[in-house]
Amino acid sequence: MKKTKAFSFPECLQSQEKVVFFMPEDKEIAKIILSELPEESLKKILFIAHGDLEILFSTTKAQVSYYTDEGCRYGETLFDKLEYQVKTYAPVACVYPGPYKPQFLYLALISGAACRVGFDCAKEFPFLNVSLHPLKTISPARMMARYFIKGKKG
């Protein structure tokens, strides 16, 4: 039996470095992610979130850039603003739990982040370059949020 190296999740998500987090539009999933993230990690995360999630973020001190379904296509003013914010934030990592949206995959790529994480996303390479497989015992949202807690395993 061949031994394989244990996978070590990128330290960049646990080291309190700058991260861009593309929030899913599903309010329940977004709520789980926010409830699991340690409050101190919110200071180093720029969330890209749909405007429908604004009330969810209203009780946090998180940095959030909102988008709407209209005007958030490549070349439009709102998209250009998001692109500028993501680039100037200069993250070391991007987290993209899905679902697939080509404009946000593009933003992850041009962010300059060396670590761009998603779930079952091998087909999205080079936009995302770390593909995780969700565990059956824990939701992808909860699993991703827990990686932000140093030393805690999903």
pLDDT of residue 81: 94
> Phi and psi for 48 in degrees, rounded to 5?
-105, 115
The answer to whether residue 64 sits within a structural domain is yes
**Which residues in the chain show pLDDT less than 70?**
1-16, 134-135, 137, 139-154
pLDDT of residue 37: 83
CATH label of the domain that carries residue 103: 3.40.50.2000
The answer to whether residue 153 sits within a structural domain is no
DSSP-based helix, strand, coil % in the chain, nearest 5 = 40, 20, 45
Q: Give residue 95's domain range.
A: 11-146
The answer to whether residue 3 sits within a structural domain is no
pLDDT of residue 106: 94
Domain count, the chain: 1
Q: Is the dihedral of CA 29, 34, 37, 41 positive or negative?
A: positive
pLDDT of residue 2: 45
Instruction: Record the pTM.
Output: 0.81
pLDDT of residue 144: 66
Structure tokens at 2: 């061949």
The answer to whether residue 154 sits within a structural domain is no
pLDDT of residue 16: 59
> Phi and psi for 53 in degrees, rounded to 5?
-95, 5
pLDDT of residue 153: 42
The answer to whether residue 85 sits within a structural domain is yes
